[in-house]
Amino acid sequence: MTTTFRFAPSPNGELHLGHAYSALLNASLARRRGGRFLLRIEDIDTIRCTPAFEAGIISDLEWLGLRWEEPVRRQSEHFDAYRAALKRLIDGGLVYAAFMSRGEVRAYIERTTGGETAWPRDPDGAPHYPPVDRSLSVGERRRRIEAGHPFAWRLDMASAVAAAGTGLSWCEFADETLGGSQETAADPAAWGDVVIGRRELPTSYHLSVVVDDALQAVTHVVRGRDLHAATSVHRLLQRLLGLPAPSYFHHRLVVDADGRKLSKSLGGTGLRALREGGATPSDIRAMVGIREAISPSALSRP
Ligand code: GLU
Tell me the average pLDDT across 109-134: 92
Tell me the average pLDDT across 166-183: 96
- Whether pTM > 0.85 for this model: the answer is yes
Task: Give the pLDDT of residue 302.
Answer: 36
Helix (H, G, I), strand (E, B) or coil at 19: helix
Give the range among 12-21, 254-263, 278-287 with minimum mean pLDDT.
254-263
Peptide bond into 71 cis (omega under 30): yes
113 or 89: which leads in pLDDT = 89
Tell me the average pLDDT across 86-104: 97
CA distances from 137 to 38, 88, 101, 148, 174 (A): 45, 21, 19, 17, 47
pLDDT above 50: residue 108: yes
User: Does residue 98 contact residue 90 with C-beta atoms inside 8 Å?
Assistant: no
Tell me the average pLDDT across 222-251: 98
Pocket of ligand 1 (CB under 6 A): 8-10, 42, 209, 223, 227
- How distant is the alpha carbon of residue 84 from its chain centre? 19
Task: Using most ligand atoms within 8 A of CB, pick from 4, 19, 42 the residue to mutate for ligand 1.
Answer: 42
Q: What is the mean pLDDT of the chain?
A: 93
Residue 299 pLDDT grade (very low, low, confident, very high; cuts 50, 70, 90): very low
Tell me the average pLDDT across 63-68: 97
Domain extent at residue 231 = 4-299
pLDDT above 80: residue 137: yes
* Protein residue with least CA distance to atom 7, ligand 1: 8
Question: What CATH number should be reported for the domain holding residue 280?
Answer: 3.40.50.620
Tally the domains of the chain.
1
Q: Which residues of 250-288 are buried (b: 16+ CB within 10 A; e: fewer)?
A: bbeebebeeeeebeeebeebbbeebbeeeeebeebbeeb
Give the range among 53-62, 189-198, 285-294 with minimum mean pLDDT.
285-294
261 has catalytic annotation: no
Task: Give the pLDDT of residue 296.
Answer: 44
- Atom index in ligand 1 nearest the CA of residue 40 equals 1
Q: Determine which helix (DSSP H) or strand (DSSP E) holds 31, and give its type and residue range.
A: helix 17-32
HSE on the CB side for 241, CA within 13 Å?
32
pLDDT, tens only, 17-35: 999 999 999 999 999 999 9
Distance 269 CA to ligand 1 centre (A): 19
